[in-house]
Amino acid sequence: MRYPLLFLIVLIQFSCKKDIVESGSQIIDIDLDNLTYESLPELEIKSIIPLETNETSLVGYVNRMEYHDGKVYILDIHKSRALFAFSEDGAFLGKTKKGRGPGEMINPFDMYIDKASSFIYIWDQGLLSILKYNSNLEYLDQEAFKNPLSNFAILPDGRKLVNTHFHKDFMYKIYGADNETVEREFIPDMKYPHGLGIGRSISVSKRILTIAPYLYDIFELKSNNLDSRYQVNFGKYMLSKEDVEQNDLYKPYELTSQGQRVSSLKDISEGESFMSFKVYFKKETLNFAYSLKDQKPYLINEYFYQNLLPVCSVHGLTKDGLFYALIKPADLDDFQKASGKILIDKPIDEESNPYLITFTLGEEGQ
């Protein structure tokens, strides 16, 4: 059974096919007409945790989710306009406050967690500042950053790697220590008449990987250069430049919704053995896991279809290879009824916060 996911047009991102394969790029072929498998990597569910739900901890909308060092962080930029923190057993630890005082925010837009220090950085597009917190969301400091961005990361030397479309010149920039000087620019931007969202466009693990709107490439930042390491090939379903650079706001949306085209990549993340990303196709979110060892892509949704895993939104991988995702209460309830597998033996309230699920993928075959 397929589980369609309707999504906001403003969150759609589109891509164009490149004519030249860059030296060093590895091609990842994905045939959307044949996404069945004789065998899949063995899946093991490690944990499923209800996130505490009360009047204070209820998350309005999940724009970004990170699982780090046994804690869950959820950024809601639309309703609550806050970052929520939960413990590894789902207990609510706190959230950021609204306002203009020290440590308070007006309009948080993106977050970055430094996995080495566990410092959390949030860019507030209302304050035009990056606020710094510790892992318990205790405020530490902030600095002005007046350049609009979609995603960002703090590089080991303190510079900022920024993904942006607001300046409409380059998709990626590296800002110096003064947060104003542009030291490097990568990937010329393209014209398009609509908003977009690519979720986590920067993955910082063993290496720094990035994705960009309109491109099916996965880039690596190394020695101040951004080079294509992978190109995901969807063949005839890849959007062309003509599809993207047009004046009709709804045409690209119609193409992907109707299954004539597939969106570019969303939510890049890399662990020890796998890399994960998503695309939108036929009104459905397709979650992929790419095996770095076998050099094969696998559709995580196939585990949904076989009732091996509840329908969930995969948000990333930890450094040691643990996939983490969020499950809507209704989807968990449907899974338990359809599969007969009881993951939660307590009543499920469909109005509660989502459930955190973690799982691993092993060797191919099960």
Per-residue confidence band for 366, with pLDDT thresholds at 50, 70 and 90: very low
Range 60-65, long-range pairs (CB < 8 A, 24+ positions): 62/313, 62/326, 62/354, 64/110, 64/111, 64/199, 64/200, 64/315, 65/315, 65/316, 65/324, 65/326
Distances (CA, A) of 130 to 112, 183, 196, 300: 10, 19, 22, 34
The pLDDT, as a whole number, for residue 10 is: 33
Over range 63-74, report the average pLDDT.
Answer: 95
Residue 244 clears pLDDT 90, i.e. is over it = no
Over range 273-300, report the average pLDDT.
Answer: 96
Selection from 145, 280, 263 nearest residue 213 by Cα: 263
Over range 309-316, report the average pLDDT.
Answer: 97
Over range 40-53, report the average pLDDT.
Answer: 97
Residue 207 domain boundaries? 9-364
Q: Is residue 4 part of a domain?
A: no
The pLDDT, as a whole number, for residue 13 is: 39
Q: Is residue 2 part of a domain?
A: no
**How many percent of the chain have pLDDT more than 70?**
90
Per-residue confidence band for 196, with pLDDT thresholds at 50, 70 and 90: low
CATH code of the domain in which 184 resides: 2.120.10.30
Residue 51 clears pLDDT 70, i.e. is over it = yes
Q: Is residue 245 part of a domain?
A: yes
144-183: pLDDT as tens digits = 999 999 999 999 999 999 998 776 789 999 999 999 999 9
Look-up: residue for tokens 């072929």? 29
Residue 193 clears pLDDT 70, i.e. is over it = no
Asked if 19 contacts 243 with a C-beta cutoff of 8 angstroms, the reply is: no
Residue 4 clears pLDDT 50, i.e. is over it = no
CB atoms within 10 A of CB 327: 22
Residue 342 clears pLDDT 70, i.e. is over it = yes
Residue 192 clears pLDDT 80, i.e. is over it = no
6-33: pLDDT as tens digits = 333 333 333 443 333 445 689 999 999 9
Q: Two tokens at 240?
A: 């062309």
The pLDDT, as a whole number, for residue 241 is: 80
Average of per-residue pLDDT values in the chain: 89
Q: Is residue 42 part of a domain?
A: yes
The pLDDT, as a whole number, for residue 162 is: 96
The pLDDT, as a whole number, for residue 249 is: 61
The number of folded domains in the chain is 1
Selection from 16, 2, 3 nearest residue 255 by Cα: 16
The pLDDT, as a whole number, for residue 16 is: 41
Query: Whole-angstrom distance between the N-terminal and C-terminal Cα of the chain?
Result: 20
The pLDDT, as a whole number, for residue 166 is: 76
